[in-house]
Amino acid sequence: MSFLKKLFGGSGGTAEAPAAAAKSLEYNGFTIEARPYKEAGQYQTAGVVAKVINGVRKEHSFVRADRFAALDDAAEHAIFKGKQIVDQTGERIFD
Instruction: Return mean pLDDT, the chain.
Output: 86
DSSP structure class, residue 28: T
Band of the pLDDT at 14, cuts 50, 70, 90?
low
Band of the pLDDT at 15, cuts 50, 70, 90?
low
- Residue ranges and CATH numbers for the domains of the chain are 20-94 (3.30.160.350)
Q: What is the pTM of this model?
A: 0.78
Tell me how many degrees the CA angle 37-42-47 measures, rounded to the nearest 5: 30
Distance CA 56, CA 94 (A): 12
What integer pLDDT is reported at residue 17 of this predicted model? 53
Parallel, antiparallel, or unpaired: how do β-strands 23-27 and 56-68 relate? Answer: unpaired
What integer pLDDT is reported at residue 5 of this predicted model? 43
Distance CA 33, CA 5 (A): 32
User: Is 88 or 14 the better-scoring residue by pLDDT?
Assistant: 88
Closest CA to 19 of 6, 39, 36, 32: 36
